[in-house]
Structure 1
Amino acid sequence: MTIAPYVRHLGRGPGRSRSLTQDEAFDAMRLMLAGEAAPESIGALLMLMRMKGEIPEEIAGFAASARATLPQIPAPALDWPSYAAGRTRGLPFFLLSARLVAQGGYPVLLHGWNSAAHMNEIASIRGCLPHAGITAATSVEHAGELLDRHRIAYLPLESFQPGLLHLLRLREKFNLRSCVNTVLRVLNPARAPASVQGVFHPPYLELQADAGLLLGQENLTVIKGGGGEFERNPAKGVSLFGLRAGAPFTGTLPAILDEHGKLNQGWEDQTLLAQLWRGDWQDPFAEAVVTGTAELALATLGDATPGDTARRLWTERDTSMALD
């Protein structure tokens, strides 16, 4: 078997090339993950798609095919992908948002990978996990144990689908992102009923929402977030795309704070995450990032008053809780 026919569909030239169908994309990803596609063909397919632009059917087909290869992962309430490059972002306060949602009784599975070649060290997600009180799972089984015990876990991509990591890391050879970045955001490897996703480029808002619809996702919120992560800037209004009860959904929310401010305010000390959680450091902007992002996640989960709930959870958080 080969993916050459799919490369041909994409690359036949003006007036003759076309996008892949969802079934064709499913089969192409199956062949790539099974090691049955030549490296040259994989590179050609990914870069032709990069030039053409991705469509929801392709992303949904790739994601569904990748899901079919995955081990059984315990299903959380909320899926939270983290695959942004992070070249310009600041401290990942969204990690505290995820922990806050978990404290509210909703199991959260974070999953991701961030390239050291593109990620600035300050914003390193894995480097910040201990300061956010979140444990990185060493396996799918370990992730299940963490979800049972703490209602939150971070599952590295290499621990559940190393083949996708190989495809993702082709970025280091192309020096360009590929559709794999989008696939991983919509993957929802544990098939959680709700998912939150961030994008860096606005056109991907509708693309990921439409792919979620094709994948049968029930509840989904996609935002243009800090550095491409699901993280809200409280000083700006936010546009929402996604799904509610399996139907397309859009909305807007105003800024939380009446001020101008960037998410990256120059904070460089990763221990500020722990200090903010414990209450040893207080900053209204940072707190609003945490509670504002948690509000969007809680709304995705169906909370009727997500803003009030997020603020209550923040006030009542267990500042002494330490995860192993």
Structure 2
Amino acid sequence: MTNPATTTPFAAGRFIKEIGRGKKGARSLSRDDARELYAAMLDGRVSDLEMGGLLLAMRIKGESVDEIAGFLDAAEASFSLLAAPAASHAPVVIPSYNGSRSLPNLTPLLALLLAREGVPVLMHGVLTDPGRVTSAEILRELGLPVAQSAANAAAAFAAGRPAFLPIEALAPKMARLLALRRILGVRNSTHTLVKILQPFSAPALRLTSYTHPEYFTMLSEYFAQCAPADRGDAFLMRGTEGETVANPKRANRIDWFHAGAAQVLVERQPPQETLPDLPDGSDAATTARWIEAALRGERPMPPAILEQVAHCREVAASLRV
């Protein structure tokens, strides 16, 4: 039987009235109101006109910590959480929604290095992005299949491989909102939410990134004040072209959030005088061949990525304990 709560049209005008008064006049929603609103958006109960107004108003205003927390509550309730694999480490979750334009996208290298250490790795993201090289494209060049279901992901974990779940397979309702960028031409709150998802039913380590300083402040407050402690930990860093992998040319600052407390694991470093031997980042096949050579020991591993792997391995092991 269909649940009327998920099919009844949702009147969003009262929410637009709060958030749509411009950057200075707008008021933020409570966590409960944000959860109710985003749940209706995910269920398709908001009209197209109201949806456009909501997304653009929030884009102008910017999300508050309570709004992000409420949105994420609704988002994670909209899909079936994954069972954590039986392993000595908690899973590491790596969102990959940006790809790269100039620097090589070495997110797959990070995932493969962690998997080689016995750490279950779930990557999720988009398959393609015009003008960018995505992790999914590189993984395909490496001969690693894209998972299409939770069962496929579990099989990859059992085989000691990282699993890549497209957002359409992981959280299809979120994928629909994410795709609205192609219509509106601008990002919406879902682009932030997919980068902080914790899709497992057990504790996991989330690798998250930001691109603008205001998001560092907002996400730091979220992980310190609102993220449930029983859902695991998070690493927060400035993205490398938006990806959650250490910059191979210089280490990014990494903040670790555990049980409401923050600790700086890695300090930001100045650019190296001698740049590492890196592939041309504009081609998935070239990046894949370089990653294979690095894994065989034929190319030097970027030290910043090795340091990131070591921190991930240590925290993932502590979460399992």
Fold agreement, TM-score > 0.5: yes
> What TM-score does the superposition give when structure 2 sets the normalisation length?
0.81
CA contact (8 A) 1:113 1:157 kept: yes
- Which residue in 1 is equivalent to 2:238? 224
| Identical residues among aligned pairs (%) | 26
- Which residue in 1 is equivalent to 2:94? 80
* Runs of at least 4 residues off by over 6 Å: 262-265
CA contact (8 A) 1:233 1:262 kept: no
Matches of 1:254 and 1:133, distance apart in 2: 34
Give the length in aligned residue pairs.
298
For residue 178 of structure 2, the aligned residue among 162, 168, 174 is 168
Matches of 1:2 and 1:250, distance apart in 2: 44
Specify whether residues 133 and 150 from structure 1 end up closer, same or farther in structure 2 by C-alpha distance, changes over 3 A only: farther
1:227-238 correspondence runs (5 A): 227-238=241-252
Q: Which stretches in structure 1 are left out of the alignment for 5+ residues?
A: 304-324
Specify whether residues 295 and 263 from structure 1 end up closer, same or farther in structure 2 by C-alpha distance, changes over 3 A only: farther
- Which residue in 2 is equivalent to 1:240? 254
Matches of 1:12 and 1:263, distance apart in 2: 50
For residue 211 of structure 1, the aligned residue among 222, 228, 242 is 222
Matches of 2:139 and 2:22, distance apart in 1: 46
Instruction: Deviation per CA, 1:243-301: give whole Å up to 9, x if none.
Output: 024423335425498426499863444244344434568443x5435424423433543
Tell whether 2:41 aligns with 1:32: yes
Tell whether 2:69 aligns with 1:60: yes
Read off the aligned partner of 2:159 and give its amino acid letter. Answer: R
Tell whether 2:121 aligns with 1:108: yes
CA contact (8 A) 2:82 2:150 kept: yes
For residue 204 of structure 2, the aligned residue among 179, 193, 203 is 193
Q: Which piece of structure 1 moves more, 270-279 or 169-178?
A: 270-279
Matches of 1:281 and 1:144, distance apart in 2: 29
CA contact (8 A) 1:82 1:110 kept: yes
Matches of 1:83 and 1:110, distance apart in 2: 10
Matches of 1:264 and 1:6, distance apart in 2: 48
Specify whether residues 27 and 215 from structure 1 end up closer, same or farther in structure 2 by C-alpha distance, changes over 3 A only: same
Q: 1:237 deviation in Å?
A: 4.1
1:1-324 correspondence runs (5 A): 1-12=10-21, 17-75=26-84, 77-84=91-98, 86=99, 88-113=101-126, 116-117=129-130, 119-120=131-132, 123-132=133-142, 134-191=144-201, 192-213=203-224, 214-216=226-228, 217-253=231-267, 255=269, 258-259=272-273, 261=275, 266-269=280-283, 270-279=285-294, 282-284=298-300, 287-288=302-303, 290-301=305-316
Secondary structure of the equivalent of 2:69?
helix
Specify whether residues 300 and 224 from structure 1 end up closer, same or farther in structure 2 by C-alpha distance, changes over 3 A only: farther
**Root mean square deviation of aligned Cα:** 2.8
Matches of 2:24 and 2:218, distance apart in 1: 23
Instruction: Deviation per CA, 1:74-123: give whole Å up to 9, x if none.
Output: 22521111112x35343321211111112212111111115533x42xx2
Read off the aligned partner of 2:158 and give its amino acid letter. Answer: D
CA contact (8 A) 2:181 2:187 kept: yes
> What TM-score does the superposition give when structure 1 sets the normalisation length?
0.81
CA contact (8 A) 1:101 1:294 kept: yes
Read off the aligned partner of 1:243 and give its amino acid letter. Answer: F
Q: Which stretches in structure 2 are left out of the alignment for 5+ residues?
A: 1-9, 86-90
Q: Which piece of structure 1 moves more, 235-244 or 101-110?
A: 235-244
CA contact (8 A) 1:109 1:155 kept: yes
